[in-house]
Structure 1
């Protein structure tokens, strides 16, 4: 038996992604960024801002920022998603309106390596974690050596903030409709990894921000209010060739995509 067949799948890293929404002239728009071509994971791909959870995302003081009742099981994921979006795209999903000077100061603090909680305190604001809604939980297929278990959140974009990419991981940032991004990929002008492409397909039929947020209301919670069931694409051989298959009833379609059209990283 080949050595690779004996290896257990690499455990996925917990991660989070924030999909900011707004209503544009032609309908729903989402905020995306273009990753640096020199990165190990998804080089040059167009993605939503996001990344791995950090130990500080689990710190107890974040619980006190939840406005009412017991915080959700995905609280640390929410913190990570907001933090990553602020670091990569310069937009903070904040609980209050930020003057340009405070937002610029926050960006400088994060760029200098200051902790997220401290940077927020210096800017006089906090994250609007309760405005986020889970759209899906995507897990990288088991055959890859670099894997993530990622919660995808939706949230209305804060007013009065313009994106500003960090120039490191993100080399470009823009607002665009899901249909436009899919069309640009089909024309060979944009690179989309599988979970991003499936998310854009899910949102492409949403006329506006309210319709997109309604999609998140359909996502079931996990046992005892925990994380939602994972969507784990599996490589399957069929009569017409290999496909990546996702679970029926997960809310995304198509359930099968030819392997030749799937980019995983």
Structure 2
């Protein structure tokens, strides 16, 4: 069994006009979670580990070393899939106009992750690593799922003026909605979510604001979540420990990806 693939995901949040999170709908032709609603994210690539990033990031000196590349990857993936960029120029988060001027970089970075560093250096940008809050880490054990990802989840306030647009490749739609509304769409069969996504949207739903999410994340004991399969009365369940703060901790296998 191959090792889990390192990955990173970003949960972008806003409070106006109401408390909402941003999710994207994956293209139906993508092998992993095709057609599902997910948070922006993807693999941690080699370029995300480049030592030169130290000169183009805010907060890197206060972040655990093992989280540096995941945070860079999370910001990069959000930029590729939605156009939202958590980066500063001259100490201020870039504006909608500045982000729009960088849009031509999106497909280029998606095709070659090393160009993200080139863009940051050439455009005088500093990635806002300090704006990300560690929210969760999930890794299915061997034997659960045909493709395994070791995924870091980070929560962040979305740049106030920037506008999210899907890349049309990996992401075919971007959706802003309250976590509860996302879950209602899932339960009604209008949206698909895989097991880790559902659990983390449910976890978001215990909060009423972006500040609440950050506070809850700072107070919660965040441990690696490793789902496992159990059988009860002839039914197989995918389950996680019940002491990790999640409101829902198990689901029948056949519902682990709802459609």
TM-score, scaled relative to structure 1: 0.87
The counterpart of 2:94, out of the listed 87, 98, 101, is 98
Superposed, 1:1-265 pairs within 5 Å as 9-25=1-17, 27-64=18-55, 65-67=57-59, 69-72=61-64, 73-95=66-88, 96-113=92-109, 115-143=115-143, 144-220=145-221, 229-239=223-233, 241-263=235-257
2:6·2:149 contact (CA, 8 Å) conserved in 1? yes
**1:54 Cα deviation from its structure 2 partner:** 0.5
Sort the Cα spacing of 1:91 and 1:68 in 2 relative to 1 into closer, same or farther, 3 A. Answer: closer
* Gap regions ≥5 residues in structure 2: none
**1:28 Cα deviation from its structure 2 partner:** 1.8
| Cα distance in structure 2, aligned partners of 1:68 and 1:79 | 10
**1:10 Cα deviation from its structure 2 partner:** 2.8
**1:253 Cα deviation from its structure 2 partner:** 2.8
**1:214 Cα deviation from its structure 2 partner:** 1.3
Sort the Cα spacing of 1:139 and 1:264 in 2 relative to 1 into closer, same or farther, 3 A. Answer: farther
**1:111 Cα deviation from its structure 2 partner:** 1.5
TM-score, scaled relative to structure 2: 0.89
| Cα distance in structure 2, aligned partners of 1:263 and 1:68 | 36
**1:48 Cα deviation from its structure 2 partner:** 0.4
| Cα distance in structure 2, aligned partners of 1:54 and 1:97 | 24
| Segments of 4+ moved more than 6 angstroms | none
Query: Could you give the per-residue CA deviations for residues 12-56 of structure 1, whole angstroms, max 9, x where no partner exists?
Result: 10000000110133x420011111011111111000000000111
Sort the Cα spacing of 1:67 and 1:186 in 2 relative to 1 into closer, same or farther, 3 A. Answer: closer
2:237·2:250 contact (CA, 8 Å) conserved in 1? yes
Query: Could you give the per-residue CA deviations for residues 166-210 of structure 1, whole angstroms, max 9, x where no partner exists?
Result: 110001002111011100111110001111110111111211111
